[in-house]
A and B are shown apart, each in its own frame.
Chain A
Amino acid sequence: MIELRDVTLTYPDGDGIVTAINGASLTVQPGAITAITGPSGSGKSSLLAAASTLISPQGGSVLIDGVVASGHSRSETALLRREKIGIVFQQPNLIASLTALEQLELMGHLGSTSTARSRSETRVKATELLAAVGLDGKAHKRPNVLSGGERQRVNIARAFMNDPAVFVVDEPTSSLDQERGSAIIELIIALTRSRNVATLLVTHDRTHLPLMDAVLTMVDGNLSVHREAAADDEEWMLVDS
């Protein structure tokens, strides 16, 4: 589960201060997927950065699987991210020198010492995840020979390597066509359900919002609209525009 309680984040801006997040609160339960939408510059990315512990908010708290994310050292925060949070970046951000399989195996080598999982277990798990995202035939391909959709699938599979409790996804379809974008969203939803993770997804793409369990809208740092997915899609679209 991921929980944000009254989170406030400000940035210095010249002589003044910009409030990126203004007392935002939300909860995402395991197996559920919550989308955050809103116009550019509304604070969505800042909210995602706070939720994924990449930035510490000045006010409020972020709880990842019941653990308060603030007040830790940099190495403790890195450990929390490594063990509890799967991040899917807007761009795949794959490591150029690694094959698809190695991008996943990498997750077992990020700590000061290798994880308890053995090398063969890591390989089995990585192979299984690549198969789950439909890339079983591309395990030994490097990013430069994979398509945009395939790279994004590797990005998603990598986020699940360490069995995270929380899945944070940033605009996963922004650089994909409609067909591939839909396939990626369906994959994220399927993995959220099958692996019972709490998924927080930032998107501009309204097409897939009816598939979400909850939709929040961010405007000028305020998480102003919160509605269940069963409600009428047109309603939130009016708010967002």
Chain B
Amino acid sequence: MFVAWRDLGFARGRFALIASVVLLITLLVGFLGGLTQGLANANISAVTPFEADRVVLAEPAEGKTLSFTDSRVSEQAATEWAAASGVEAVEPLGIVVSRVTAANDQEQTASLFGVDSSFTSISPDQEIPTEPGTVILSERSQEALKVQVGDQINVFGDSFTVAGVSRDAQYSHTGVIWMPLTDWQSTVAKQTASPAPFATALIVQGVPTDAAALDAQAKTVSNPVLLSLMAIESFKSEIGSLAMMLGLLLGISALVIGAFFTVWTIQRSKEIAVLKALGASTSSLVRDALGQAFVVLVIGVGLGIGLTIAAGAALPAAVPFVISPLTTLVPGIAMVVLGLIGAAFALGSVLKADPLTALNASNS
């Protein structure tokens, strides 16, 4: 790194320029990552705390994709799953989006989650309603409806008493209201003017010996919790497009870094030939070139992450933006790794430089 360090100081304008580009791309990646995570939370934060081995949905109709919205799991399917070898517990879960009104005329479109009072397949900090006619609101729903514990809310003509307010949970960009499964079934029956469904999904503890056979027999599709999230349409479409943008940005950053260092190395080709003629080992030249790229990347990415954190903290709370190691450090490390891969393309010029040309080179 003897020459590399001194080059960094000597050509600081050029290196500052490329570090600024890296900084801006990191900022963009950080923003997009934070937004992706924020939007994801708004879609799935009610589902991710489920502590289960599998989430079971009804088999989609011909030509349809697996979907929480369309899923209607029968009681028969629940019984078959509960009886299967390897399965320890099966708990029904109902999900429906409905309009909710408070006595103070505040309204909200919320996701109603119906569970039995004995429901245990979720992290302990989530409160569950124990009495018929009561609901537990998520913080978001409480804020929207402006109600307190003991107040009444109205769901499709039925009144429910707010029995508690639990952690912030969202599903498909709506606040979640937890209610007893029986109440959920009657609400859905009213809302759809059709017979009450048993549940939307089954939350399963234990791994069945032959999940595929069980799915075929019960006409269900089962997946681990994280994989089941892809059956939430809004989550799938948002994450898909944002992940594609993130991937493209990371690819662009690798190309930009690669292009810069290729031009830089070509500019230095006579100097590299002189160093080789003086006896420089190829490994020392490669170490110099990659070390230089690493320093530029770490400075650019470091400042970019710092700016992302500062800007993210300044955003209004309403913006779905998450600052976490997943949205800052992980893309930052990816930027450095991909940038180094880009810079590695410039190594061809280093390896090919012919020391013989130093005899006729006319540097300073």
Contact = CB atoms under 8 A, between A and B. Distances in A.
A120 interface: no
B76 interface: no
Given A90-B360, A98-B3, A142-B10, 13 more contacts: A81-B279, A82-B279, A87-B358, A91-B363, A93-B270, A93-B361, A94-B363, A95-B6, A96-B364, A102-B2, A106-B278, A143-B364, A151-B364
A170 B280 contact: no
Secondary structure of the B contact surface, majority rule: helix
Interface of B: 2-3, 6-7, 9-11, 270-271, 274-284, 355-356, 358-364
Contact of B356 (A55, A91, A96, A105): A55
B284 to A, nearest CB: 6
A48 B358 CA distance: 12
Nearest to A74: B282
Nearest to B6: A97
B29 to A, nearest CB: 31
Query: Which residue among B7, B276, B278, B283 has the maximum number of chain A CB atoms within 10 Å of its CB?
Result: B278
Given A96-B10, A96-B271, A112-B284, A89 B279 contact: no
Contact of A81 (B6, B271, B278): B278
A89 B361 contact: yes
Interface residues of A, number: 41
20 contacts: A55-B356, A78-B276, A78-B281, A82-B279, A87-B278, A89-B277, A91-B361, A91-B362, A93-B364, A95-B3, A95-B274, A97-B6, A105-B2, A106-B3, A106-B278, A109-B284, A110-B278, A142-B10, A144-B364, A162-B279
A87 B277 contact: yes
Contacts of A45: 359-360
Interface string A46-60: 001100101100000
Interface string A98-121: 100010011101111000000000
A54 B359 contact: yes
